[in-house]
Every structure is written in C-alpha cells, then in structure tokens.
Chain A
Amino acid sequence: GDSVTQMEGPVTLSEEAFLTINCTYTATGYPSLFWYVQYPGEGLQLLLKATKADDKGSNKGFEATYRKETTSFHLEKGSVQVSDSAVYFCALNTNAGKSTFGDGTTLTVKP
C-alpha cells in the first residue's frame, strides 16, 4: 500500500539555521506530493505542493523538490525563524484520490 515516511522529531534549531526535514514515499502510479504545517492550536494547512517529477514547490521560504528517482520530497528552508515552530506533515495523493500522511515532525526554533 501507499506510505509516507518522514524524519522523526523533534527537531530543535537556532534562529537562522538551515532546515531539512526528510520525506520518502511509496506509492503506485504518479502521486502528487504535499507538505502541510500545523501551528499550535490550529488545524493543518497546506505549505507547498508538487504534482509531477522534478517540480519544485515553494512558499514562505520553504522549498521541496519532487524526486521520482529517489521517491523523496524533502522540505528545506535556508534560514528558520521562531515563528516557523510547528509540526510539519508530508503527504501524498494518488490518482485514485486517496491521501496518505506521514507521522509529522515537530520543529522548535529557539531565538
């Protein structure tokens, strides 16, 4: 079946540090890939997405590239801020419309 494996947390960084959260997937066909973010006390919201191989999704300084050859969609940001502290979820949608989420990675950014 489909699955998403993302880097275990928690991840703690200092402000302005470089962030990478790894995500790999297993799916049939050609899924679409997503990163969602959940801030404290809120629901999940879409951060970025990519719908085909080699697409790069970007938003708010975050980027992720759809790598079909390595079945990966790693999230990166060059300089994190305290306000980026949240839980990050990697997810995929298959052509059958089924969504699969990773377990989530908690990021804490310290001043």
Chain B
Amino acid sequence: ETGVTQTPRHLVMGMTNKKSLKCEQHLGHNAMYWYKQSAKKPLELMFVYSLEERVENNSVPSRFSPECPNSSHLFLHLHTLQPEDSALYLCASSQDTASGGRPYNEQFFGPGTRLTVL
C-alpha cells in the first residue's frame, strides 16, 4: 500500500466510448503524474501537475485529457481511443522540488489501470 489509489483497476472500452481514470493520493504531496506503460516499451511520462497546475505535457494526443481539481485527485479523461492506446496507466505523486521538496523525494506509484481498447 503506497498511499496512492487508482480506479478502476481494469477497463475495457470501445473506440467510441468516453471513460475516465481516477487517481487519489493520501500522502499530502503537491505533485502528481500520469505515466503510460506499454509492453516492451519504456515508461512514458504523459502529464505532470504541480500545485494543481499542469507543468508538463509530453506531446500526448488530445484524446487524453487530464484534470487535477485539487492536490489529492488526478483524472485522465479518455475519448475516441485507438487500440494502440491499450496499456497500463500509472499515477504517481511526490513532493515537488520547486515548492520546498527535495530532489531526493521519490515518487509513489499507484497500482495502475489496465486499459484495453477494442
């Protein structure tokens, strides 16, 4: 138990569906992240939020839309996905360096949402 929860754990959706992934952290951190982990590919950072503002967007297609309503919650809204978007989506949190955290503060990961796009 890392203090970061993700729901749902598994999601199967068609290409025309709209769904959302939810992440919640109970650690008092002020930065949250979305990663994509595909088989046989490196971990891909998608979005970074610090103090509820998006500070990084790594050329992610617009069919992925993040939302961070407060420092404890992070959503990833999905629409019109493609089969190649099937992957494990990981959420993480940390104490952001720019806001008084330290560079040695590690990220705490949730268990991930296994997404399958049919």
Check: A111 CB closer than 8 A to any chain B CB: no
- Give the number of A-B contacts (CB < 8 Å): 61
Do B42 and A43 have beta carbons less than 8 Å apart?
Answer: no
CA A52 – CA B2 in complex, angstroms? 25
Q: Which residue of chain A has the shortest Cβ distance to B106 in the bound complex?
A: A46
CB distance from A107 to the nearest CB of B (A): 16
Q: Could you jot down 28 A-B contacts, CB within 8 Å?
A: A31-B103, A32-B102, A34-B106, A36-B109, A41-B111, A42-B111, A43-B6, A43-B112, A44-B90, A44-B92, A46-B106, A46-B107, A49-B106, A93-B103, A93-B104, A93-B105, A93-B106, A95-B97, A96-B98, A97-B31, A97-B50, A97-B97, A97-B101, A97-B103, A102-B42, A103-B42, A103-B43, A104-B43
Check: B110 CB closer than 8 A to any chain A CB: yes
B-chain residues with CB within 8 Å of residue A49 when the two chains form the complex: 104, 106
Q: How large is the interface on A (under 10, 10 to 19, 20 to 34, 35 or more residues)?
A: 20 to 34
